[in-house]
Structure 1
Amino acid sequence: MVNRLSGKNTIITGAAGGIGIETAIQFAIEGANVLLSDINEAGLQKAVEQVKSFLTPELKESLKIEYKVADVSNEEQVKALVAHVESWGGVDVMFNNAGIMHPADDNVLNTENKIWDLTQAINVKGVFYGCKYAIGSILANGKTKASIINTGSFVALMGAATPQIAYTTSKGAVLAMTHELAICYAKQGIRVNALCPGPLNTPLLQEFLDTEDKKVRRTVHLPTGRFGEAIEQAKAVVFLASDESSYITGQDFMVDGGLTKSYVTSLGVPPTGPENMVFGK
């Protein structure tokens, strides 16, 4: 199916890689104008060219595929993102995807205040600012079909296999914020949902899983036996952004390969890898 987002003005934060760039590609293919944002300008420039490489000549000519550097923890910079899209006619879809998982994020005893504060500033404040200014634009332009998608995580619902207290807490806050906003603005036609990915094969997670033990402790819990791919998340975001999901709001949209519905036990074999673990037994 194509043109599910035809004519919609969209903003994607954290768009220089991972889920963000894959979603930008899918949004554009579906006919959306896309403003890509990230703190990495060089990455954004490459991302814009990558998005355009997937488009037909007609779409390249008709769509706005642009970028703007922004630190989502800075309110004025997020405000400027939305102001940029005002010139297009206002926001229809806001994908608050930017986030960090700091390698120094650990258990509650070892995580330093500066790591905690940085994580909350980007992962929570950044989503708050994105929602605040996107909703303001949507209401000001009288749009009655709008969608906000916030990137949460499965860890907000069940905890993580490896300690990451700041990240897990931040994603719990994102889910709570999503639920609140969905209820507050449902009657105005603004849907707010949280995408909850399982562990993904993206640089963000792979940088964190810097030892074989950490990787095994993650993959052993996955019924599929593999990490998810960013494109699989992007396709879910397209659905949540489109009118196909018109009666879906306030949801924790799990795209996790069944992780949150599974359990795993060892058969007593040497713990040399996921192949020695059995799911659902």
Structure 2
Amino acid sequence: MQTISLQTIIHLVFGVSQRALRQAHFRGSHAARVPSISPKPRRRRVDILRPEVAGLVIGLTKAAAIDFAARNVRVNAICPGGTHTAMFDRWIKDGAVEQHVLASHPIGRFADPIEPARVALFLASDEASFVTGVALPIDGGLVAA
């Protein structure tokens, strides 16, 4: 059984965020975070913390957006739902699990990896130059349902 404490997750998110924001500050650019909002079964302690971790990342995103806006650094988070990746596909290899997770996505399918990637590219582009402090769900309606 793998156990990860909330304190470890907070230190990890905060440390990675600090480094990304330092690098973005030098470029006057964009920093992004990707919290998970997928409805995984609660088998490990880290799964039980999932809502708290997502809330932490979203809160840090908003706080950092305010703190760094005057320095021309935009900070946003993308919140992907089920996305076909090798890891995700291994997790849903059981047909019952796949149907359960698929049923939670009102759009009726999982995302291709390019779909959240395109949103990240948009948020990092000049077309999104006035967008900061946003946590954007890319989840096929999972959060809205």
* Aligned: 1:131 with 2:20: no
Superposition deviation, residue 138 in structure 1: 3.9
Letter of the aligned partner of 2:23 in structure 1?
Answer: S
1:147–1:192 contact (8 Å) kept in structure 2: yes
CA-to-aligned-CA distance 1:96-129 (integer Å, 9 cap, x gap): xxxxxxxx5xxxxxxxxx5223x864x5433322
Q: Please, which of 194, 199, 202 is the counterpart of residue 82 of structure 2?
A: 199
Match of 2:132, SS state, is coil
Q: Specify which of 249, 254, 261 is matched with residue 137 of structure 2.
A: 254
Identity percentage of aligned residues: 28
Question: What is the alpha-carbon root mean square deviation over aligned residues?
Answer: 2.3
Contact 2:77–2:136 (CA under 8 A) maintained in structure 1 = yes
Structure 2 contact 84–112 (Cα < 8 Å) conserved = yes
Matches within 5 A, 1:1-281: 114-117=2-5, 121=8, 124-139=10-25, 141=26, 143=27, 145-155=28-38, 160=39, 162-163=41-42, 164-262=47-145
Higher relative strand content: 1
**CA–CA distance in 1 between the matches of 2:105 and 2:124?**
27
SS of aligned partner of 1:219: helix
Change (3 A) 1:215 1:138: closer
CA distance in 1, matches of 2:130, 2:36: 22
- Shift of the 130–185 alpha-carbon distance from structure 1 to 2, 3 Å rule, reads same
* Length, aligned pairs only: 141
For 1:245 and 1:146, the matched residues in 2 are separated by 11
3-state SS, counterpart of residue 116 of structure 1: coil
Q: Return the alpha-carbon distance in structure 2 between the equivalents of residues 212 and 120 of structure 1.
A: 35
Q: Tell me, in whole angstroms, the C-alpha distance in 2 between the residues paired with 1:217 and 1:129.
A: 35
> Any unmatched runs of 5+ in structure 1?
1-103, 105-113, 263-281
Give the structure with the larger helix fraction.
2
Offset, 1:179: 1.3
Task: Give the alignment's TM-score, normalised by structure 2.
Answer: 0.82
Task: Give, in whole Å, the separation in 1 of the partners of 2:95 and 2:122.
Answer: 35
Shift in CA distance, 205/167, structure 1 to aligned 2, threshold 3 Å: farther
For residues 208 and 166 of structure 1, do their structure 2 counterparts lie closer, same or farther at Cα, with a shift above 3 Å needed? farther
1:170 is paired with a residue whose SS is helix
Shift, 1:210, TM fit? 4.6
Deviation at 1:206, TM superposition (A): 2.6
**1:257 alignment partner, SS class:** coil
C-alpha distance in 1 between matches for 2:115 and 2:71: 30
Q: Tell me, which stretches of 5 or more residues in structure 2 are unaligned?
A: none
Q: Deviation of residue 146 (structure 1)?
A: 1.0
Superposed CA deviations along residues 46-80 of structure 1, whole A, max 9, x for unmatched, are xxxxxxxxxxxxxxxxxxxxxxxxxxxxxxxxxxx
Q: Which protein has greater RCO, CA pairs closer than 8 Å, 6+ apart?
A: 2
Larger radius of gyration: 1
